Structure 1
Amino acid sequence: MNLDDNRKALVELANYKMPFGKFKDRYLIDVPEYYYTWYRQKGFPEGKLGRMMQQMHEIKINGLEEFIYNIRKEFKRK
Structure 2
Amino acid sequence: MNDDKAAHGNPEILLELLNYQMPFGKYKGLRLRELPVSYLEWFAQKGFPAGKLGMLLQTLYEIRLNGLDYLLDELQKRR
Instruction: Indicate whether the TM-score tops 0.5.
Output: yes
* TM-score category of the 2 structures, normalised to the smaller one: 0.7 to 0.9
In the superposition, the TM-score normalised over structure 1's length comes to 0.79
Structure-to-structure mapping, 1:23-34, within 5 angstroms = 23-34=27-38
Count how many residue pairs are aligned between Structure 1 and Structure 2. 74
Say which structure, 1 or 2, has more relative contact order (CA 8 Å, 6+ apart).
1
Moved over 4 A (4+): none
Q: Does 1:21 align with 2:25?
A: yes
Question: Corresponding residue for 2:11?
Answer: 7
Percentage identity across aligned positions? 45
Q: Which has the larger radius of gyration?
A: 2
Question: Corresponding residue for 2:54?
Answer: 50
Structure 2: segments with no counterpart, 5+ residues: none
Instruction: Provide the C-alpha distance between the structure 2 equivalents of 1:23 and 1:65, rounded to a whole number of angstroms.
Output: 20
